[in-house]
């Protein structure tokens, strides 16, 4: 199928290619289901499952901005117990692709409890801790508080054997600090990064446009910044980095690999182009082949 | 479906309003009244998000869909400039549809200005199914009573009004006094939705409304386009793109 070796391994998580959706950015079962077969993806990532049920934020939740969008969705979730009760994770297993469950909570203990409940679940291949949603209630982002970040990663590490990915916040001065803390506290990989906190004001009403006042900026607008963060973190940590931010083409994804990313996530680009992840996978393979590389590994971090 | 389609015709109806016809045989064959499409008709990433449009009409023989639009922002300004033969990407048809119960014998369709765009497709289907269709449209100017000719040609009763002192629902109410209607359909405006709820309670008819919302994906992934609905005595969020865009009015008004 591929002309080159695109495979990626993060502990026991084995992916045939490095491309997966960012959490909350793809519909696997209905309208997008026939656009391309889901099993071409390296992995699928679930919308964050919160510890407890949450309705999400009041609308409007979406605002378009230059070269991107703001979202203030606020993790609407049935809560982990409802997921387990309905066995709703099992349907993801049927997609025949590794399943990464994104988990979220209001406090460190929430993550521990959710990971404990997921222990040994046959429908799960890895866990991503969403410690960086800018839109949940208190505005507290666990990934921006070094003490809370360390405590949360350490505590969840103790209760899960699944590969543990920590999704970091870009809303920090130096991404290397939280990246090193995540590594030192037992993370198997970090995702760099979640959305940047931003806002839009409606000049007709003269009030914030989004129901939540602020939202998370995603899209091509943020790519140079998250790319820089991946580049910097790669110099400081040895665990794999999953690059996430503004990928709109295979070329964007290749830049992340050159900066040092092991894998990539595609977020709001999926909304604009439902075929994007397929194009990214094929485009990376073609790029490697055209440039006479045998495997993705050969170009990882090559920009350093 | 996600398909690269082609513009057949794009005409200005009156200043600031246009009608575009796009060749999209499979989408036209599959579409139901009330459904919408996500579209992209420019190169590059600006504007960023796909643009949602309701389907104004389909011509299944010609394999086309029609979109009626008002120029409001960057997306519709670009739309107005499209020429015959231009590329037009469509993701769709999306969302649920207006329920046309085979037992309905007479329905009322209520809208205002360009907001009534999806109603032409609904009226056409209802007429085809043998229903008697009354269409009530209001606008600030005569020229904004869009689709009048289409409604008349298909055999619907068209009642257009530019009277600023009369709400468009009052024309439906006048007819409700003498005739039984099985259902009323509307779109967009909260004001119309609330007034149709009032008529539903008095005259015992069903009511359905199509909603609009800011959305990113159109397919239920981004969870961005929520509206509040009332179900089983509870207030909750529903997704306009996937649970809607059509909702029973009794779920929209407390």
DSSP category for residue B100: -
Q: Do A24 and B227 touch (CB under 8 A)?
A: no
Confidence grade of residue B254 (pLDDT, cut at 50, 70, 90): confident
ipTM for the complex shown: 0.92
Residue A16 is predicted with a pLDDT of: 98
**Segment A269-282, tens digit of pLDDT:** 999 999 999 999 99
Q: Chain B: nearest CA to A184, how far in angstroms?
A: 33
CB-nearest partner of B222 from A34, A35, A71: A71
Residue A92 Cα, gap to closest chain B Cα (Å) = 15
Look at residue A159 and give its three-state secondary structure. Answer: helix
Residues of B with Cβ-Cβ distance to A275 under 8 angstroms = 2
Interchain pair A59, B216: CB under 8 A: no
Q: Which residues of B touch A210 (CB under 8 A)?
A: none
Are B163 and B213 in contact by the 8 Å Cβ rule? The answer is: no
Catalytic residue among A115, A133, A185, A244: A133
pTM for the model: 0.94
First to last CA, chain A: 30
* The residue to which tokens 């299944």 are assigned: B60
Helix ranges restricted to H, A160-222: 176-184
Q: Please report how the helices A250-259 and A276-290 are oriented relative to each other, as an axis angle in degrees rounded to 10.
A: 60
Helices (H) and strands (E) in chain B, counts: 7, 15
Report the share of chain A in percent with pLDDT over 70: 98
Asked about A133 being catalytic, the answer comes back as yes
B188 contacts B249 by C-beta, under 8 angstroms = no
Please choose, from the candidates B237, B216, B107, B232, the residue with its C-alpha nearest in 3D space to the C-alpha of residue B172.
B107
What is the rounded average pLDDT of the residues A160-164? 98
SS3 for B199-234, per residue?
A: HHHHHCCEEEEECCCCCCCCCCCCCCCEEEEEECCE
Do the Cβ atoms of A31 and B50 come within 8 Å? no
Percentage, residues of chain A above pLDDT 90: 90
Evaluated on CA atoms A13, A18, A19, A23, the torsion sign reads: positive
Tell me which chain A residues have a C-beta less than 8 angstroms from the C-beta of B220.
27, 30-31
* Nearest-CB residue to A25 (from B46, B213, B222): B222
What mean pLDDT comes out for the span B72-85?
96
Mean pLDDT of B125-138: 97
Between A213 and A142, the more confident residue is: A213
Q: How, if at all, do strands B157-161 and A19-21 pair? A: unpaired
Listed residue (A88, A98, A63, A79) closest to A209, CA to CA: A63
A76 interaction partners in chain B (CB closer than 8 Å): 223, 226, 237
> How many CB atoms lie under 10 A from the CB of residue A259?
24
């Amino acid at each position: 199928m591929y002309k080159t070796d695109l495979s990626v391994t993060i502990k026991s998580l084995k992916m045939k290619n490095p491309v997966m959706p960012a959490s909350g950015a793809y519909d696997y079962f209905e309208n997008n289901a026939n656009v391309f077969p889901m099993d071409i993806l390296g992995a699928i990532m679930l919308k964050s499952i919160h510890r407890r049920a949450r309705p999400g934020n009041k609308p409007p939740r979406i605002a378009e901005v230059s070269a991107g969008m703001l979202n203030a969705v606020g993790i609407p979730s049935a809560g982990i117990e409802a997921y387990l009760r309905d066995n709703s994770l099992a349907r993801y297993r049927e997609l025949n692709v590794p399943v990464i469950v994104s988990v979220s909570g209001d406090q460190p203990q929430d993550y521990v409890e959710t990971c404990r409940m997921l222990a040994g679940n046959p429908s799960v291949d890895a866990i991503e801790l969403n410690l960086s949603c800018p839109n949940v209630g208190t505005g507290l982002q666990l990934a921006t508080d070094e003490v809370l970040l360390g405590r949360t990663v350490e505590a969840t590490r103790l209760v899960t054997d699944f590969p543990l990915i920590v999704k970091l916040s870009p809303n920090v001065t130096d991404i290397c600090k939280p990246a090193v803390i995540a590594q030192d506290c037992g993370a198997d990989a970090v995702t760099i990064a979640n959305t940047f906190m931003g806002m839009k004001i409606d000049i007709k009403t003269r009030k914030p446009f989004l129901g939540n006042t602020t939202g998370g900026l995603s899209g091509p607008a943020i790519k140079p910044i998250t790319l820089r963060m991946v580049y910097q973190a790669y110099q400081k940590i040895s665990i794999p980095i999953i690059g996430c931010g503004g990928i709109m083409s295979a070329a964007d994804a290749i830049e992340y690999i050159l900066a040092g990313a092991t894998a990539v996530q595609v977020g709001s680009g999926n909304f604009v182009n439902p075929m994007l992840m397929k194009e990214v996978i094929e485009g990376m393979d073609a790029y490697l082949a055209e440039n006479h590389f045998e495997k993705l590994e050969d170009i990882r971090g090559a920009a350093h | 479906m996600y398909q690269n389609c082609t513009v057949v015709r794009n005409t200005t109806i009156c200043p600031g309003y246009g009608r575009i016809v796009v060749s999209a045989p499979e989408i036209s064959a599959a579409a139901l009244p009330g459904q919408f499409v996500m579209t992209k008709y420019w190169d590059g990433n600006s504007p960023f998000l796909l643009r949602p449009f309701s389907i104004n009409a389909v011509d299944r023989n010609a394999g086309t869909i029609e979109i009626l639009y008002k120029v409001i922002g960057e997306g519709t300004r670009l739309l107005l400039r499209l020429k015959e033969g231009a590329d037009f990407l469509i993701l769709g048809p999306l969302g649920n549809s207006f329920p046309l119960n085979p037992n309905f014998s007479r329905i009322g369709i209520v809208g205002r200005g360009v907001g009534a765009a999806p109603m032409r497709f609904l009226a056409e289907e209802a007429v085809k199914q043998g229903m008697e269709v009354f269409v009530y449209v209001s606008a600030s100017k005569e020229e904004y009573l869009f689709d009048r000719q289409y409604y008349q040609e298909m055999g619907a009763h068209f009642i257009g009004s530019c009277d600023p002192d009369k709400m468009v629902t009052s024309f439906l109410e006048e007819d409700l006094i003498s005739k039984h209607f099985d259902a009323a359909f509307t779109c967009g405006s909260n004001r119309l939705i609330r007034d149709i709820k009032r008529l539903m309670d008095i005259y015992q008819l069903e009511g359905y409304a199509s909603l609009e919302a800011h959305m990113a994906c159109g397919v239920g992934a981004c969870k961005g386009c929520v509206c509040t609905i009332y179900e089983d005595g509870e207030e909750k969020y529903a997704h306009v793109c996937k649970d809607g865009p059509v909702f029973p009015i009794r779920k929209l008004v407390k």
